[in-house]
Amino acid sequence: MEAKISFQENFAISEKSKIYVGQVVREKENLSLSAHKSIKNIPIVIKPNCSVRDVFLAIRKAIQEVMKKKADIFSINSAEIYSFISDKINVYDFYSTLTTEAIIASYVYDRFKKAEKYIKKIVILDVDSENAKKGFNKGKNIGYSMNVARNLANDPAQYLGPEELAMETENIFKVSNNVEIKILSESEARDEGLDLYLSVGEGSYRPSKFIIIEYNNASSKQYERPIVLIGKGVTFDSGGINLKPSTPGGIETMHMDMTGGAIVIGTLLSAVRNNLKKNVVGIVPAVENAISSKATRPGDIVNSLSGSTVWVGNTDAEGRLILADAITYAKKYDPRYVIDIATLTGAALVALGEYGTAYFTDSQELSDLIQTAQKNTMSSLWRLPLWDEFAQNMENNLADISNISKVRWGGPSNAASFLKHFASGYDSSITKWAHLDIAPRMTSCAYDFLSVGATGEPVAMLTNFIEKV
């Protein structure tokens, strides 16, 4: 498969630039981003007392407008913009997010259809302090890594199955220092006891691949025990024998059911490029959930690595099966934190709309860390409960646990409780676990001002998390 990470990486810091088509001007009390010369007025106005989010959304919107108007270069008068929100965000975080936002807003997935026009260069003016430059460099690495994750998530399933995802992962980290990639074949996974994971790919002719990325760059003993990130890597989810219906925005988007895996790969790349002094392990159980006479049947009972038996009540609730085995597998790393990231339930969309990721954890400490890490990153994460009733919903007469709930309501929490059953294999005093249901943020929505397709969220939040813990 050809190398295809081809988006523009043209990006510069400039003290002053003569050629710019987009500039920031103050108009009375408002800050408006408007265009100059070849472009007439981009009507974006940021009101006084605007939030940090408002400002970054305006940047996205301005870049989208500039692209529509076929301009080559976009410049951002950063000092001017910062003056509007300097009481709400520090210089380092501002430049990091500004740069990330500029890169992700100019992204177009163009593997099969060229965009009419690309922005050739984005110039951020007035990046003068040390902290601003540090933030700029961090943001550049995050933006790049998010776009790599978006490319992976956007690729159609016929080009990106488990094997290709494994190959792409090897390519992406080919020149990285302190990174080791391990790919477990099906027989190696069988030897490890990953039967629950393997059961999901049983119906596909494409072999499952258990992808492991080990990044060892801890600066001291304190950081030796790693952070483990686990990403759902279902490269196409037909639903299996419980075939998904053909409702718009449904089965035909299921090549993106490996977005959690893409986010893990993107976050590891961001950690490597930012030279974060931590040990991080990324695990992406990659499978295709297909239909054939070999496919797992509804009603089958499968062994898991943890020793618990699982009744498969519905073959479309497959993401939790591969995650469950990965969660147990992660124990061997003696991790400080384990976070799994998955497009797990449509019900998370029902709960939060298209606007935020649902997260679950029993650890208040980890919840607080997630909240701190998300600040100023343009991703919203909202905590949902893990009450005992949800665990009772997953009980089963024939096996230790069922992959579907007896009760219709509370889908995201039922799924999270299934995962919690396996995370209870950790000693909770030394290993904190959280689950992120990113289904609501799999694709961009109308208010995002991003190109259609994957959003790359929450790579920035996870990068901050790794940096801070």
Which are the catalytic amino acids? 244, 320
Which residue stretch of 118-126, 166-174, 233-241, 412-420 sits at the interface with Zn ion (rule: CB under 5 A)?
A: 233-241
Residues in CB range of 293: below 8 A, 6 or more apart: none
Nearer to Zn ion, 101 or 318 (CB): 318
3-state DSSP assignment of residue 42 = coil
The gap from C-alpha 125 to its chain's centroid, in whole angstroms, comes to 29
Nearer to Zn ion, 299 or 307 (CB): 299
Q: Which region holds residue 353: left if phi is over 0, alpha if psi is between -120 and 50, else beta?
A: left
3-state DSSP assignment of residue 319 = helix
Please give the structure tokens belonging to residue 236: 């196409």
Nearer to Zn ion, 101 or 325 (CB): 325
In whole angstroms, give the CA distance from residue 256 to residue 152: 9
Q: How far is the CB of 291 from Zn ion (least distance, A)?
A: 12
Q: What is the DSSP letter of 90?
A: -
Q: Does 237 bind Zn ion (CB under 5 A)?
A: yes
Nearer to Zn ion, 164 or 316 (CB): 316
Residue nearest to Zn ion (CB): 316
What angle, 0 to 180 degrees and rounded to 10, lies between the N-to-C axes of helices 91-105 and 52-68? 30
- Which x/- pattern over 90-129 shows residues binding Zn ion (rule: CB under 5 A)? ----------------------------------------
3-state DSSP assignment of residue 173 = coil
Q: How far is the CB of 433 from Zn ion (least distance, A)?
A: 22
Nearest residue to 451 (alpha-carbon basis) of 140, 116, 74: 116
Nearer to Zn ion, 194 or 322 (CB): 322
- Which x/- pattern over 306-325 shows residues binding Zn ion (rule: CB under 5 A)? ----------x-x-------
Which residue stretch of 132-140, 193-201, 236-244, 450-458 sits at the interface with Zn ion (rule: CB under 5 A)?
A: 236-244
In whole angstroms, give the CA distance from residue 158 to residue 265: 20
Query: Which amino acid type is present at position 241?
Result: I
In whole angstroms, give the CA distance from residue 129 to residue 360: 38
Q: How far is the CB of 296 from Zn ion (least distance, A)?
A: 12
Q: How far is the CB of 401 from Zn ion (least distance, A)?
A: 17
What is the Rg, in whole angstroms, of the alpha carbon atoms belonging to the chain? 22
Q: Does 288 bind Zn ion (CB under 5 A)?
A: no
For tokens 């002094």, what's the residue? 277
Count of residues in contact with Zn ion, rule CB under 5 A: 3
- Which x/- pattern over 333-362 shows residues binding Zn ion (rule: CB under 5 A)? ------------------------------
Nearer to Zn ion, 69 or 244 (CB): 244
Q: How far is the CB of 328 from Zn ion (least distance, A)?
A: 20
Binding residues vs Zn ion (CB under 5 A) = 237, 316, 318
